[in-house]
Structure 1
Amino acid sequence: PFYGKKPEDVESMQLEVIVHLEGYDETYVQSIHSSSSYLADDLKWGHRFLPMYEREENYLKLHLEEINKMEVVDRL
């Protein structure tokens, strides 16, 4: 929905992005839920997240210390 939009366009739309994540905790055998809300001022234009995982033989290895790392990308 943001393709072709400029930051000014999104701000004028009074946009709010709501992210809801659901996971499963095998230790406590229960579902886990988390929700966050982001307004236009919270968005980082011209950035993308760096990979925070690597694939091993039968599993993914997460590097949680890298969860917020981003890089600047060229905008078309």
Structure 2
Amino acid sequence: MRDISVTLDDLRASRNAVITRAEAAAALGVDPRTITASIENGSIPSVKLGRRVVIPREKFLRIFDGDDAHSTVPGTPAR
């Protein structure tokens, strides 16, 4: 797997409708397995497209905007 360098600002600037688990992990600075676990427990929204699981970009970003900015995704350090 290649290293992906993505920030939350990159995701905000993107026009893509969805992001991958690897992109989400890179933006948060966590292991992709943390993203998978967070998808499985419902902390991060996802959509299954065939055999792929992708994350709706806008819903993912909303987790870190506004009043939700102080909540944490499991496995990430609190601010």
- State the TM-score, normalizing by the size of structure 1: 0.29
More strand as a share of residues: 1
More helix as a share of residues: 2
- State the TM-score, normalizing by the size of structure 2: 0.28
Larger Rg: 1
